Amino acid sequence: MQQGIDIKDRFSELISQYAELFQCPIVLNSELTQMFPRQINETEIPEKTQKKPFRYVPGITDIAGKFVPRKPILITPNTKFNIYPTKNDSFILPIKLQNGHHGFLISSTYDYYIYDSILNHGYYIDKLKNLELNGKKITIGDKIFTLSTTVKENSRKIISELQEFIPRVLAEKNLITYKNFFESLGIMQAFPPVNEFTLPYYRTLFTNNNFLLLYSRVIYTKDDMKPLAQAFLNITGPEFPAFYRFMAYDEYKTYKSPSLAMRGNNFFVSLTTYIVGQDPEYIKFLDSLSLQSETLVEDFIKGVEIMDLSPRSRIVLNAIYNEGKRTFPETDCKRFGVSGVLFLRLMSPVLMLREPRFSNKIQPLTPIFNLMEKGDQNAVNKLRVLIDRYSVFPENYVVEPNNSYNEKDIETLIQMIPKSKDELIRAATHVNFSDIYSQYLSLPPV
Protein backbone atom coordinates (compact mmCIF):
# COMPACT_ATOMS: atom_id res chain seq x y z
CA MET A 1 0.00 0.00 0.00
CA GLN A 2 1.38 3.37 -1.05
CA GLN A 3 2.38 5.58 1.83
CA GLY A 4 0.06 8.58 2.27
CA ILE A 5 1.19 12.06 1.21
CA ASP A 6 1.73 14.59 3.98
CA ILE A 7 -0.68 17.40 3.08
CA LYS A 8 1.41 20.03 4.85
CA ASP A 9 4.55 19.01 2.96
CA ARG A 10 2.68 19.05 -0.34
CA PHE A 11 1.21 22.46 0.42
CA SER A 12 4.65 23.83 1.29
CA GLU A 13 6.01 22.41 -1.94
CA LEU A 14 3.29 24.11 -3.99
CA ILE A 15 3.85 27.43 -2.23
CA SER A 16 7.56 27.21 -2.93
CA GLN A 17 6.94 26.23 -6.54
CA TYR A 18 4.58 29.12 -7.27
CA ALA A 19 6.02 31.72 -4.91
CA GLU A 20 7.28 33.86 -7.77
CA LEU A 21 3.70 34.38 -8.93
CA PHE A 22 3.02 36.28 -5.73
CA GLN A 23 6.00 38.59 -5.96
CA CYS A 24 4.64 40.85 -8.68
CA PRO A 25 4.61 44.65 -8.64
CA ILE A 26 1.98 46.77 -6.96
CA VAL A 27 -1.00 47.66 -9.14
CA LEU A 28 -2.68 51.00 -9.61
CA ASN A 29 -6.01 51.65 -7.90
CA SER A 30 -7.78 51.22 -11.23
CA GLU A 31 -6.10 47.88 -11.96
CA LEU A 32 -6.94 46.51 -8.53
CA THR A 33 -10.55 47.58 -8.87
CA GLN A 34 -10.79 45.79 -12.21
CA MET A 35 -9.49 42.59 -10.60
CA PHE A 36 -11.56 42.79 -7.44
CA PRO A 37 -14.84 44.62 -8.17
CA ARG A 38 -16.51 45.99 -5.08
CA GLN A 39 -19.32 48.31 -4.10
CA ILE A 40 -17.65 51.29 -2.44
CA ASN A 41 -17.74 55.03 -2.93
CA GLU A 42 -14.06 55.92 -2.98
CA THR A 43 -14.74 59.64 -3.11
CA GLU A 44 -15.76 59.53 0.54
CA ILE A 45 -13.45 58.93 3.47
CA PRO A 46 -14.84 56.27 5.84
CA GLU A 47 -15.81 57.39 9.32
CA LYS A 48 -12.99 57.49 11.85
CA THR A 49 -14.88 54.87 13.87
CA GLN A 50 -14.43 52.39 11.03
CA LYS A 51 -11.23 50.55 11.79
CA LYS A 52 -9.12 50.04 8.68
CA PRO A 53 -5.65 48.54 8.46
CA PHE A 54 -2.92 50.40 6.60
CA ARG A 55 -3.49 49.05 3.10
CA TYR A 56 -2.91 50.17 -0.45
CA VAL A 57 -6.46 50.71 -1.68
CA PRO A 58 -9.57 51.84 0.27
CA GLY A 59 -12.13 49.11 0.71
CA ILE A 60 -9.80 46.14 0.35
CA THR A 61 -8.67 45.01 3.76
CA ASP A 62 -7.50 41.49 3.13
CA ILE A 63 -5.16 41.87 0.16
CA ALA A 64 -1.66 43.28 0.46
CA GLY A 65 -0.93 45.17 -2.76
CA LYS A 66 2.54 43.75 -3.22
CA PHE A 67 1.02 40.30 -3.79
CA VAL A 68 -1.36 41.33 -6.57
CA PRO A 69 0.00 40.59 -10.06
CA ARG A 70 -0.30 43.07 -12.87
CA LYS A 71 -1.97 41.76 -15.98
CA PRO A 72 -1.65 42.52 -19.71
CA ILE A 73 -4.15 45.13 -20.84
CA LEU A 74 -5.66 45.30 -24.33
CA ILE A 75 -5.73 48.94 -25.41
CA THR A 76 -8.23 50.00 -28.07
CA PRO A 77 -8.92 53.42 -29.63
CA ASN A 78 -11.72 53.94 -27.09
CA THR A 79 -9.95 52.74 -23.95
CA LYS A 80 -10.16 55.33 -21.20
CA PHE A 81 -8.32 55.44 -17.92
CA ASN A 82 -10.44 54.15 -15.04
CA ILE A 83 -10.36 57.05 -12.63
CA TYR A 84 -11.25 56.97 -8.95
CA PRO A 85 -10.91 60.39 -7.29
CA THR A 86 -9.89 59.11 -3.85
CA LYS A 87 -8.88 61.66 -1.24
CA ASN A 88 -5.70 61.72 0.82
CA ASP A 89 -5.09 63.72 4.00
CA SER A 90 -1.63 62.40 4.90
CA PHE A 91 1.34 64.39 6.16
CA ILE A 92 4.79 63.69 7.64
CA LEU A 93 6.50 65.12 10.73
CA PRO A 94 10.14 64.71 11.87
CA ILE A 95 10.22 63.49 15.48
CA LYS A 96 12.40 62.13 18.25
CA LEU A 97 10.98 58.88 19.65
CA GLN A 98 10.76 57.89 23.31
CA ASN A 99 13.91 55.77 22.88
CA GLY A 100 15.85 58.86 21.76
CA HIS A 101 16.02 57.80 18.11
CA HIS A 102 15.17 60.21 15.33
CA GLY A 103 12.35 59.21 13.03
CA PHE A 104 9.10 60.30 11.42
CA LEU A 105 5.44 60.43 12.30
CA ILE A 106 3.54 59.53 9.14
CA SER A 107 -0.16 60.35 9.17
CA SER A 108 -2.17 58.22 6.76
CA THR A 109 -5.94 58.18 6.29
CA TYR A 110 -6.61 55.65 9.05
CA ASP A 111 -3.44 55.39 11.14
CA TYR A 112 -0.36 57.14 12.45
CA TYR A 113 2.79 55.26 11.52
CA ILE A 114 5.79 55.82 13.79
CA TYR A 115 9.00 55.15 11.87
CA ASP A 116 12.32 54.67 13.69
CA SER A 117 15.17 55.74 11.37
CA ILE A 118 17.79 53.89 13.44
CA LEU A 119 15.96 50.57 13.72
CA ASN A 120 14.51 50.97 10.22
CA HIS A 121 11.17 49.80 11.51
CA GLY A 122 8.04 51.14 13.14
CA TYR A 123 4.53 50.59 14.45
CA TYR A 124 0.98 51.87 13.97
CA ILE A 125 -1.25 53.95 16.22
CA ASP A 126 -4.98 54.07 15.43
CA LYS A 127 -6.23 57.54 14.48
CA LEU A 128 -9.07 57.13 16.96
CA LYS A 129 -6.48 58.43 19.42
CA ASN A 130 -6.19 62.19 19.05
CA LEU A 131 -2.91 63.90 18.26
CA GLU A 132 -2.14 66.85 20.54
CA LEU A 133 0.68 69.40 20.33
CA ASN A 134 2.10 71.23 23.35
CA GLY A 135 5.19 73.23 22.47
CA LYS A 136 7.44 70.68 20.80
CA LYS A 137 5.73 67.70 22.45
CA ILE A 138 3.36 65.54 20.42
CA THR A 139 1.02 63.26 22.37
CA ILE A 140 -1.00 60.41 20.85
CA GLY A 141 -2.72 58.39 23.56
CA ASP A 142 0.00 57.28 25.97
CA LYS A 143 2.80 57.90 23.44
CA ILE A 144 4.87 61.08 23.66
CA PHE A 145 7.20 62.31 20.92
CA THR A 146 9.19 65.49 20.35
CA LEU A 147 9.32 67.57 17.19
CA SER A 148 12.93 67.26 16.06
CA THR A 149 14.93 67.28 12.87
CA THR A 150 18.37 66.05 11.88
CA VAL A 151 18.62 68.93 9.39
CA LYS A 152 21.17 71.32 10.91
CA GLU A 153 20.54 74.30 8.65
CA ASN A 154 17.38 76.25 9.51
CA SER A 155 16.37 73.65 12.12
CA ARG A 156 14.71 76.31 14.32
CA LYS A 157 12.80 77.69 11.36
CA ILE A 158 11.64 74.18 10.38
CA ILE A 159 10.38 73.40 13.90
CA SER A 160 8.66 76.80 14.12
CA GLU A 161 6.86 76.28 10.81
CA LEU A 162 5.79 72.78 11.86
CA GLN A 163 4.41 74.16 15.14
CA GLU A 164 2.19 76.45 13.07
CA PHE A 165 1.38 73.71 10.55
CA ILE A 166 0.15 71.02 12.98
CA PRO A 167 -2.71 72.95 14.69
CA ARG A 168 -3.90 74.18 11.31
CA VAL A 169 -4.06 70.63 9.96
CA LEU A 170 -5.79 69.26 13.06
CA ALA A 171 -8.45 71.99 12.86
CA GLU A 172 -8.97 71.58 9.12
CA LYS A 173 -12.54 70.80 8.08
CA ASN A 174 -12.41 71.13 4.31
CA LEU A 175 -9.87 68.54 3.19
CA ILE A 176 -7.74 69.42 0.18
CA THR A 177 -6.22 66.24 -1.19
CA TYR A 178 -2.41 66.12 -0.85
CA LYS A 179 -2.08 69.75 0.25
CA ASN A 180 -0.91 68.76 3.74
CA PHE A 181 1.50 66.18 2.37
CA PHE A 182 3.13 68.65 -0.01
CA GLU A 183 3.32 71.31 2.68
CA SER A 184 4.91 69.04 5.30
CA LEU A 185 7.53 67.78 2.85
CA GLY A 186 8.23 71.32 1.73
CA ILE A 187 8.79 72.50 5.30
CA MET A 188 11.11 69.61 6.21
CA GLN A 189 12.99 69.54 2.90
CA ALA A 190 13.39 65.82 3.64
CA PHE A 191 11.36 62.63 3.67
CA PRO A 192 11.53 59.18 5.27
CA PRO A 193 13.78 56.77 3.35
CA VAL A 194 12.00 54.61 0.81
CA ASN A 195 12.46 51.01 1.93
CA GLU A 196 10.44 47.86 2.54
CA PHE A 197 8.94 49.31 5.72
CA THR A 198 7.84 52.68 4.31
CA LEU A 199 7.00 51.37 0.83
CA PRO A 200 3.32 50.65 1.69
CA TYR A 201 2.83 54.31 2.60
CA TYR A 202 4.51 55.62 -0.54
CA ARG A 203 2.47 53.22 -2.64
CA THR A 204 -0.74 54.78 -1.35
CA LEU A 205 0.56 58.04 -2.81
CA PHE A 206 1.94 56.94 -6.13
CA THR A 207 -0.91 54.63 -7.07
CA ASN A 208 -3.43 57.43 -6.59
CA ASN A 209 -4.69 59.05 -9.79
CA ASN A 210 -4.95 62.46 -8.14
CA PHE A 211 -1.29 62.36 -7.17
CA LEU A 212 -0.20 61.34 -10.67
CA LEU A 213 -2.23 64.17 -12.19
CA LEU A 214 -0.87 66.84 -9.83
CA TYR A 215 2.66 65.57 -10.26
CA SER A 216 2.51 65.56 -14.06
CA ARG A 217 0.98 69.05 -14.09
CA VAL A 218 3.60 70.69 -11.91
CA ILE A 219 6.93 68.89 -11.80
CA TYR A 220 9.60 70.02 -14.25
CA THR A 221 13.33 70.54 -14.17
CA LYS A 222 15.80 71.97 -16.65
CA ASP A 223 18.14 69.18 -15.62
CA ASP A 224 17.97 65.69 -17.09
CA MET A 225 14.31 64.60 -17.12
CA LYS A 226 15.10 61.05 -18.23
CA PRO A 227 15.23 59.46 -14.74
CA LEU A 228 11.91 61.11 -13.84
CA ALA A 229 10.29 59.97 -17.07
CA GLN A 230 11.48 56.38 -16.70
CA ALA A 231 10.37 56.21 -13.06
CA PHE A 232 6.93 57.52 -14.07
CA LEU A 233 6.69 54.87 -16.79
CA ASN A 234 7.63 52.12 -14.36
CA ILE A 235 5.09 53.21 -11.77
CA THR A 236 2.13 53.59 -14.15
CA GLY A 237 3.07 50.29 -15.83
CA PRO A 238 0.52 48.69 -18.16
CA GLU A 239 -1.96 51.45 -17.32
CA PHE A 240 0.37 54.03 -18.89
CA PRO A 241 -1.18 54.19 -22.41
CA ALA A 242 -4.65 54.87 -21.04
CA PHE A 243 -3.37 57.34 -18.44
CA TYR A 244 -1.23 59.08 -21.07
CA ARG A 245 -4.37 59.81 -23.08
CA PHE A 246 -5.86 61.50 -20.05
CA MET A 247 -2.63 63.51 -19.64
CA ALA A 248 -2.83 64.53 -23.31
CA TYR A 249 -6.41 65.72 -22.80
CA ASP A 250 -5.33 67.68 -19.72
CA GLU A 251 -2.36 69.21 -21.58
CA TYR A 252 -4.26 70.27 -24.70
CA LYS A 253 -6.90 72.06 -22.64
CA THR A 254 -4.21 74.62 -21.75
CA TYR A 255 -3.41 75.61 -25.36
CA LYS A 256 -4.76 78.95 -26.57
CA SER A 257 -3.53 78.45 -30.13
CA PRO A 258 -2.96 75.34 -32.31
CA SER A 259 0.60 76.48 -33.02
CA LEU A 260 1.48 75.96 -29.32
CA ALA A 261 0.94 72.20 -29.41
CA MET A 262 3.88 70.39 -27.73
CA ARG A 263 6.03 73.53 -27.87
CA GLY A 264 6.23 74.18 -24.13
CA ASN A 265 8.54 72.86 -21.43
CA ASN A 266 6.74 70.69 -18.90
CA PHE A 267 6.53 67.15 -17.59
CA PHE A 268 4.11 65.90 -20.25
CA VAL A 269 6.18 67.17 -23.18
CA SER A 270 9.42 65.87 -21.63
CA LEU A 271 7.86 62.46 -20.99
CA THR A 272 6.67 62.27 -24.59
CA THR A 273 10.03 63.21 -26.09
CA TYR A 274 11.74 60.69 -23.81
CA ILE A 275 9.50 57.85 -25.01
CA VAL A 276 9.95 58.59 -28.70
CA GLY A 277 13.60 59.57 -28.35
CA GLN A 278 14.61 56.15 -27.01
CA ASP A 279 12.72 54.26 -29.73
CA PRO A 280 15.29 52.24 -31.76
CA GLU A 281 13.41 53.00 -34.98
CA TYR A 282 13.52 56.71 -34.30
CA ILE A 283 17.23 56.54 -33.53
CA LYS A 284 17.70 54.74 -36.86
CA PHE A 285 15.85 57.60 -38.57
CA LEU A 286 18.19 60.17 -36.98
CA ASP A 287 21.24 58.16 -37.99
CA SER A 288 20.09 58.25 -41.63
CA LEU A 289 20.29 62.05 -41.76
CA SER A 290 23.28 64.31 -42.23
CA LEU A 291 23.26 68.09 -42.42
CA GLN A 292 26.06 67.86 -44.97
CA SER A 293 23.88 65.98 -47.44
CA GLU A 294 23.07 67.76 -50.70
CA THR A 295 19.68 66.03 -50.69
CA LEU A 296 18.73 66.71 -47.07
CA VAL A 297 15.06 67.49 -47.77
CA GLU A 298 14.64 64.31 -49.83
CA ASP A 299 16.48 62.26 -47.20
CA PHE A 300 14.25 63.71 -44.51
CA ILE A 301 10.97 62.87 -46.27
CA LYS A 302 12.20 59.38 -47.18
CA GLY A 303 13.35 58.76 -43.61
CA VAL A 304 9.96 59.76 -42.19
CA GLU A 305 8.24 57.57 -44.77
CA ILE A 306 10.10 54.37 -43.84
CA MET A 307 10.24 55.09 -40.09
CA ASP A 308 8.33 52.29 -38.33
CA LEU A 309 8.04 53.37 -34.71
CA SER A 310 7.33 51.04 -31.80
CA PRO A 311 3.76 50.56 -30.56
CA ARG A 312 4.43 52.68 -27.46
CA SER A 313 5.67 55.60 -29.58
CA ARG A 314 2.65 55.24 -31.86
CA ILE A 315 0.38 55.22 -28.81
CA VAL A 316 1.65 58.60 -27.59
CA LEU A 317 1.71 60.17 -31.07
CA ASN A 318 -1.81 58.89 -31.69
CA ALA A 319 -2.98 60.52 -28.44
CA ILE A 320 -1.32 63.81 -29.40
CA TYR A 321 -2.79 63.72 -32.90
CA ASN A 322 -6.33 63.02 -31.69
CA GLU A 323 -6.28 65.58 -28.89
CA GLY A 324 -5.12 68.20 -31.39
CA LYS A 325 -7.97 67.18 -33.66
CA ARG A 326 -10.46 67.38 -30.80
CA THR A 327 -9.21 70.69 -29.37
CA PHE A 328 -8.69 72.61 -32.61
CA PRO A 329 -10.70 70.92 -35.37
CA GLU A 330 -10.21 72.13 -38.93
CA THR A 331 -6.65 73.24 -38.13
CA ASP A 332 -3.18 71.72 -38.37
CA CYS A 333 -2.98 71.35 -34.58
CA LYS A 334 -3.17 67.56 -34.84
CA ARG A 335 -0.05 67.66 -37.00
CA PHE A 336 1.75 70.44 -35.10
CA GLY A 337 1.86 68.29 -31.98
CA VAL A 338 3.36 65.28 -33.75
CA SER A 339 5.88 67.35 -35.73
CA GLY A 340 6.77 69.26 -32.58
CA VAL A 341 7.87 66.05 -30.87
CA LEU A 342 9.48 64.25 -33.79
CA PHE A 343 11.31 67.13 -35.42
CA LEU A 344 11.41 70.32 -33.36
CA ARG A 345 12.18 68.85 -29.94
CA LEU A 346 14.14 65.76 -30.96
CA MET A 347 15.55 65.83 -34.49
CA SER A 348 16.74 69.45 -34.72
CA PRO A 349 18.76 69.55 -31.47
CA VAL A 350 20.33 66.15 -32.19
CA LEU A 351 21.43 67.05 -35.72
CA MET A 352 22.80 70.47 -34.74
CA LEU A 353 24.66 69.05 -31.75
CA ARG A 354 26.07 66.23 -33.83
CA GLU A 355 27.26 68.51 -36.63
CA PRO A 356 27.68 71.97 -35.05
CA ARG A 357 29.71 73.35 -37.97
CA PHE A 358 26.77 72.72 -40.31
CA SER A 359 23.92 73.68 -37.96
CA ASN A 360 22.72 76.39 -40.36
CA LYS A 361 22.09 73.67 -42.98
CA ILE A 362 18.97 72.63 -41.09
CA GLN A 363 17.20 75.82 -42.20
CA PRO A 364 15.49 74.27 -45.26
CA LEU A 365 13.85 71.67 -42.99
CA THR A 366 12.48 74.13 -40.41
CA PRO A 367 9.58 75.58 -42.49
CA ILE A 368 8.78 72.06 -43.69
CA PHE A 369 8.29 70.40 -40.30
CA ASN A 370 6.55 73.56 -39.05
CA LEU A 371 4.16 73.09 -41.99
CA MET A 372 4.71 76.67 -43.17
CA GLU A 373 3.69 78.12 -46.53
CA LYS A 374 7.18 79.45 -47.20
CA GLY A 375 8.61 75.94 -47.10
CA ASP A 376 8.93 73.47 -49.97
CA GLN A 377 5.18 72.91 -50.47
CA ASN A 378 5.65 69.55 -52.12
CA ALA A 379 7.60 68.36 -49.08
CA VAL A 380 5.14 70.01 -46.66
CA ASN A 381 2.18 68.24 -48.27
CA LYS A 382 3.99 64.90 -48.20
CA LEU A 383 4.85 65.40 -44.53
CA ARG A 384 1.20 66.16 -43.73
CA VAL A 385 0.17 62.84 -45.25
CA LEU A 386 2.92 60.96 -43.40
CA ILE A 387 1.96 62.53 -40.06
CA ASP A 388 -1.67 61.55 -40.66
CA ARG A 389 -0.58 57.93 -40.28
CA TYR A 390 -0.63 58.50 -36.54
CA SER A 391 -4.37 59.08 -36.62
CA VAL A 392 -4.62 55.29 -36.89
CA PHE A 393 -4.37 53.43 -33.60
CA PRO A 394 -2.08 50.35 -33.49
CA GLU A 395 -4.35 47.35 -33.99
CA ASN A 396 -4.73 44.84 -31.14
CA TYR A 397 -2.15 46.59 -29.02
CA VAL A 398 -1.62 44.70 -25.75
CA VAL A 399 0.41 46.31 -22.99
CA GLU A 400 2.43 43.59 -21.30
CA PRO A 401 3.30 43.86 -17.59
CA ASN A 402 6.51 45.81 -17.16
CA ASN A 403 9.25 45.30 -14.62
CA SER A 404 8.26 46.05 -11.06
CA TYR A 405 8.84 49.60 -9.96
CA ASN A 406 11.05 49.76 -6.92
CA GLU A 407 12.21 52.02 -4.13
CA LYS A 408 14.55 53.89 -6.47
CA ASP A 409 11.69 54.88 -8.79
CA ILE A 410 9.68 56.34 -5.92
CA GLU A 411 12.73 58.11 -4.51
CA THR A 412 13.44 59.64 -7.93
CA LEU A 413 9.95 61.13 -8.14
CA ILE A 414 9.49 62.19 -4.54
CA GLN A 415 12.79 64.06 -4.24
CA MET A 416 11.37 66.67 -6.65
CA ILE A 417 8.45 67.54 -4.36
CA PRO A 418 10.17 69.87 -1.84
CA LYS A 419 11.57 71.92 -4.73
CA SER A 420 8.07 72.47 -6.14
CA LYS A 421 6.12 72.67 -2.88
CA ASP A 422 4.37 75.99 -3.54
CA GLU A 423 3.32 75.08 -7.08
CA LEU A 424 2.00 71.68 -5.94
CA ILE A 425 0.01 73.25 -3.09
CA ARG A 426 -1.54 75.79 -5.48
CA ALA A 427 -2.40 73.02 -7.94
CA ALA A 428 -3.93 70.84 -5.22
CA THR A 429 -5.92 73.81 -3.89
CA HIS A 430 -7.44 74.88 -7.20
CA VAL A 431 -8.01 71.62 -9.05
CA ASN A 432 -11.45 70.00 -8.99
CA PHE A 433 -10.67 66.35 -9.63
CA SER A 434 -14.28 65.22 -9.94
CA ASP A 435 -15.07 67.83 -12.61
CA ILE A 436 -11.95 67.02 -14.63
CA TYR A 437 -12.56 63.29 -14.55
CA SER A 438 -16.27 63.52 -15.36
CA GLN A 439 -15.58 65.84 -18.30
CA TYR A 440 -12.91 63.50 -19.62
CA LEU A 441 -14.97 60.34 -19.22
CA SER A 442 -17.94 61.94 -21.00
CA LEU A 443 -15.93 62.77 -24.12
CA PRO A 444 -17.12 61.06 -27.31
CA PRO A 445 -14.55 59.09 -29.36
CA VAL A 446 -12.46 61.22 -31.73
Residue range 258-288, pLDDT digits in tens:
989 998 889 999 999 999 999 999 999 999 9
- Which domains occur in the chain, in start order? 7-71 (no CATH), 89-205 (2.30.29), 226-399 (1.10.506.10)
Average the pLDDT over 46-68 and give the result. Answer: 35
Q: What residues form DSSP beta bridges with 105? A: 93, 114
d(CA 25, CA 206): 13
Measured distance CA(269)–CA(280) in Å, rounded? 19
Q: Is the pTM of this model over 0.85?
A: no
349 confidence band (pLDDT: 50, 70, 90): very high
How far apart are the C-alpha atoms of 338 and 331, rounded to whole Å? 14
Of 210, 115, 201, nearest to 410 (Cα)? 201
**Four-residue CA torsion sign, 295, 297, 302, 303:** positive
Would residue 330 be called left, alpha or beta, if left means φ above 0 and alpha means ψ between -120 and 50 degrees?
left
Greatest mean pLDDT among 125-134, 338-347, 416-425: 338-347
* DSSP structure class, residue 28: P
What's the length of the chain?
446
User: Sorting pLDDT into bands at 50, 70 and 90, what band is 84?
Assistant: low
